[in-house]
Amino acid sequence: MDEDTPLLDELEKGPWPSYVKEIKRMAKKNKAAKDLLGIQELSYKDRVTHWKHGGIVGVKGYGSGVIGRYCDVPEKFPDAAAFHTMRINHPAGWFYSTKSLRQLCDIWEQYGSGMTNMHGSTGDAILLGTTTDNLQPCFDSLTEAGFDLGGSGSALRTIAGCVGQARCEWSNFDTLKLVYDLTMEFQDEIHRPRWPYKFKIKASGCPNDCVAAIARADFTIIGTWRDTLRIDQNAVRNYVDNGFDIKKLVVDRCPSEALEWDEKNRELKLQSDDCVRCMHCINKMTKAIRPGVEGGATILIGGKAPIIKGAYLSWVLVPFMKIEPPYDEIKDLLHKIWDWWDENGRTRERLAELIERIGLKNFLKEVGIPPVPQMVYKPRANPYVYF
Amino acid sequence: MNRTDIGPPDYREMLPDAIKMNYGKWKYHEKVRAGVLRHVSETGDEIYTVRVGSPRLVSIDFIRDLCDIADKYCDGHLRFTSRSNVEFITDNKSNVNGIIEEAAKLGLPAGGTGNSISNIIHTQGWIHCHSAATDASGLVKAIMDEMYEYFTSMKLPAFVRIAVACCINMCGAVHCSDLAIVGVHRKPPKVDNEKVLAQCEIPTTIQSCPTGAIRRNPDPNIKSVVVREDLCMYCANCFTVCPAMPLADAEGDGVAIYVGGKVSNARKPPMFSRMVVPFLPNTPPRWTEVVDVLKNIVEIYAGNAKKYERMGEWIERIGWEKFFRLTEIPFTDQHIDDFTHAVETYRTTTQFKW
């Protein structure tokens, strides 16, 4: 094999840490990583991918968690001819002990290319590149060490959430606890694809939505509160005394004009009824303003990327729900949605596309949720109503 | 014994003590400097988080290097962020500089906090994907080399989220990012009749096309499909269900650039990114033309937006017509939507700028 990689060598330069250096580091001791480098260089030369459509490979008893991958020039790169990915379900919040991370590394040193993504965009730790023969022994070692595979294909995908109450004062419910609980409850749905297409659940603790739940999750859980902002007026005055332009940077930016700065009494006044809980004032005055204490979440549905009928942002389904163990309300709702989608969805039809085809009204009837104005920006303008 | 369905490790076993003791009790936080956060608890405890950049595609030895730092300074724990950064958490303020220095020795910059350009969310590209129309890791490296000063500082009006998807499947859900770079094909699939017979289900393949461009081959002796090329918009949904219809083509493939999306609900509701550059060719290893367009947009945004205004909020305030004027990006018929929700984007007022 030709070991010159002049095009990739360019990407070792520059200040940002280089993935090419990482592949080269592994290539010194692992043949599959060495061939991966060669395949990448060939793609840079040819300007096309050199990976073929996946095949059906996996581990005993599962239909997901492994992405089959084959190189289209196996004669040149025999050690990466089969280069399958294993998706490892991450611990909620992506926290690790170094002990568990080192175990993961040792297993992947033994069975794979030694290359990983920490992490893939769905949330899994991605172990990149192994042979068909190594899949089962690698999986057995992984479960021995306490790890399991995540979702792939037409299954429930690995559930992810933001850091939540572990290290954030804004989280309106315990995202990590919920993510872990749902993940354990739905192991079967994650590991055995059975639906029209993929289904994603993401949980963010507040409307800042650090895991982009609204853009990509069919079932979106975003923390919010039922009562009012907590404002520490002394801390507010501190900001103002230190030159913070509260009128221009906070009051004037409030989207619902719910705030007012009373210069005379040096007090930030809130018209609580008008607050839409957008987070702007909280984000900019972290020491003075906090979410309310009556925490829970808004449940939204249908978020997805463009394939097939265009992208959707999730729609409000339940304006407010308490999010507490054992999470029966969420689980019941999920089962109702899955049953309806499974019954009515076409192949590769995501939830939002099905709802658009059949109508939100019919969907609400099926899942037994009454219509409320919070679900829409505005009512219909046309007269074509089914009575 | 073959164990299945054990699920991921329990997160509670992965938390450092300083977090366990203050779980759910955090009161406020502040950004001490680029890449360093200080969180203060109701109990009076405080922790420091050092956030550093990562190439995301990393070797196991890289992970072991991170573990060495975490063992020395962070009670044997670390975490990754939703944007693939690495976070070292310590309750000892005097550890902060040590962590930053040791990370710097590994070439990892502290940053990505506040009004910065944090790490790029991206997909696999030519490193591992069969449907990629561009590379991802290399494109990201080329972009971040140029945006480096914005990662290690907090000088932008608001944060700018960048994402790269190597085809329009958009595994990374890039469609709500301040700047999104998406791999696109421009040539219809090449049908391999023999492979269709062996590998594809014809009704499923026909049904997969969102524009109805795929039909049965009119010759009854050929058990395959034909593509009406004038209807094809190169989405590759057929290729996903039928491997005998590849679209990849060195001349046809390249990237499009989308701008102004967001997911946060702060101020304005979440919004989609909008196309500003329909196509630029793939020019590995540095994609210079793509990087130049992005840098230009960021600089014009930085010079014109109000404090705390996200890219999309700024553009909505000044109007897209002014955005195209300021950036000198040509507006073409490809910018005008003709897909499923197109008419929502047509202007229905006489209010606009010249």
A162 closest CB neighbour out of B82, B144, B151: B82
User: Is residue B281 packed enough to be buried (19+ CB in 10 Å), middle (13-18) or exposed (0-12)?
Assistant: middle
A143: nearest CA in chain B?
A: B3
Residues B87 and B78 sit within 8 Å (Cβ to Cβ): yes
Residues B137 and B284 sit within 8 Å (Cβ to Cβ): no
Chain A closest CA to B93's CA: distance in Å?
16
Characterize the bridge pairing of strands A201-204 and A160-161.
parallel
Residue A55: predicted pLDDT: 76
The percent of residues in chain A predicted with pLDDT above 90, rounded, is 96
**pLDDT (mean) for B259-269:** 97
β-bridge mates for residue B50, sequence order = B36, B88
CA torsion angle A92 A94 A97 A99 (round to 10): 100
Element (H, E) at A219: strand A219-225
> Which residues from chain B sit within 8 angstroms of residue A22, using beta carbons?
55, 57-59, 62
Residues A226 and A292 sit within 8 Å (Cβ to Cβ): yes
B86: nearest CA in chain A?
A: A118
β-bridge mates for residue B182, sequence order = B165, B256
State how far the Cα of B348 lies from the Cα of B114, in Å rounded to an integer. Answer: 37
Question: A387 pLDDT exceeds 90?
Answer: no
Q: Which residues of A149-188 are buried (b: 16+ CB within 10 A; e: fewer)?
A: bbbbbbbbbbbbbbbbbbbbbbbbbbbbbbbbbbbebbbe
State how far the Cα of A218 lies from the Cα of A319, in Å rounded to an integer. Answer: 16
Is B264 in contact with A180 (Cβ distance < 8 A)?
no
The full length of chain B comes to 354
> Which residues from chain B sit within 8 angstroms of residue A52, using beta carbons?
130, 243
Is B5 in contact with A191 (Cβ distance < 8 A)?
yes
DSSP A196: S
> A51-60, A103-112, A218-227, B200-209: which has the minimum mean pLDDT?
A51-60
Whether B207 and chain A come into contact, CB under 8 Å, resolves to yes
Whether B280 and chain A come into contact, CB under 8 Å, resolves to no
Whether A69 and chain B come into contact, CB under 8 Å, resolves to yes
**pLDDT (mean) for A291-298:** 98
Residue B1: predicted pLDDT: 55
Whether B136 and chain A come into contact, CB under 8 Å, resolves to no
Cβ atoms within 10 Å of B213's Cβ, excluding its own: 20
CA-based nearest residue to A114, from A37, A38, A33, A34: A33
Question: A2 pLDDT exceeds 70?
Answer: no
Question: Cis peptide before A126, with omega less than 30 degrees from 0?
Answer: no
A121-141 pLDDT, tens per residue? 999 999 999 999 999 999 999
A248: nearest CA in chain B?
A: B307
State how far the Cα of A99 lies from the Cα of A75, in Å rounded to an integer. Answer: 39
Residue A1: predicted pLDDT: 44
Return the amino acid letter for B208: S
A167 closest CB neighbour out of B39, B55, B78: B39
**pLDDT (mean) for A143-170:** 97
Chain A closest CA to B209's CA: distance in Å?
8
Chain B closest CA to A151's CA: distance in Å?
11
The full length of chain A comes to 387
Cβ atoms within 10 Å of B168's Cβ, excluding its own: 23
Residues B69 and B99 sit within 8 Å (Cβ to Cβ): yes
State how far the Cα of B62 lies from the Cα of B65, in Å rounded to an integer. Answer: 5
A55: nearest CA in chain B?
A: B243
CA-based nearest residue to A320, from A297, A289, A345, A354: A297
Return the amino acid letter for B148: Y
pTM greater than 0.90 = yes
Is A307 in contact with B3 (Cβ distance < 8 A)?
no
A16: nearest CA in chain B?
A: B145
Residues B111 and B153 sit within 8 Å (Cβ to Cβ): yes
Whether B8 and chain A come into contact, CB under 8 Å, resolves to yes
State how far the Cα of B79 lies from the Cα of B83, in Å rounded to an integer. Answer: 12
Q: Tell me, what's the ipTM? A: 0.96
Question: A40 pLDDT exceeds 50?
Answer: yes
Taking the CA atoms of chain B, what radius of gyration do you get in angstroms? 24
State how far the Cα of A1 lies from the Cα of B217, in Å rounded to an integer. Answer: 42
A283: nearest CA in chain B?
A: B266
Chain A closest CA to B218's CA: distance in Å?
25
B309-349 pLDDT, tens per residue? 999 999 999 999 999 999 999 999 999 999 888 899 999 99
Element (H, E) at B277: strand B274-281
> Which residues from chain A sit within 8 angstroms of residue B27, using beta carbons?
169, 290
CA-based nearest residue to A69, from A58, A61, A60: A58
Element (H, E) at B86: strand B86-90
β-bridge mates for residue B214, sequence order = B227
Query: Using CA of residue A173, residue A277, residue A298, residue B274, what is the dihedral sign?
Result: negative
Residues B155 and B113 sit within 8 Å (Cβ to Cβ): no
Chain A closest CA to B348's CA: distance in Å?
16
Using DSSP's 3-state secondary structure scheme, residue A290 falls into strand
Residues B51 and B112 sit within 8 Å (Cβ to Cβ): yes
Return the amino acid letter for B82: S
Query: What band does B169 get if pLDDT is binned at 50, 70 and 90?
Result: confident
Using DSSP's 3-state secondary structure scheme, residue A101 falls into helix
State how far the Cα of B214 lies from the Cα of B62, in Å rounded to an integer. Answer: 47
> A29-33, A108-112, B197-201: which has the minimum mean pLDDT?
B197-201
B238-252 pLDDT, tens per residue? 999 999 999 999 999
B101-128 pLDDT, tens per residue? 999 999 999 999 999 999 999 999 999 9
Q: State the Cα angle at A157 between B214 and A363, rounded to 5°.
A: 70
B82 closest CB neighbour out of A104, A210, A255: A210
Element (H, E) at B193: helix B193-199
CA-based nearest residue to B154, from B307, B28, B350, B19: B307
Whether B118 and chain A come into contact, CB under 8 Å, resolves to no
Half-sphere exposure of A189 (CA within 13 A, CB side): 22
Question: B78 pLDDT exceeds 90?
Answer: yes
Quickly list DSSP for A296-321.
Answer: EEEEEE--B-STTT--BPPEEEEEEE
**pLDDT (mean) for A295-313:** 93
CA-based nearest residue to B174, from A366, A204, A121, A73: A121
The percent of residues in chain B predicted with pLDDT above 70, rounded, is 99
Cβ atoms within 10 Å of A191's Cβ, excluding its own: 25
Query: What band does B138 get if pLDDT is binned at 50, 70 and 90?
Result: very high
| Chain mean pLDDT for chain A | 96
Quickly list DSSP for A311-376.
Answer: -BPPEEEEEEE---TT-HHHHHHHHHHHHHHHHHPPTT--HHHHHHHH-HHHHHHHHT----GGG-
| Chain mean pLDDT for chain B | 96
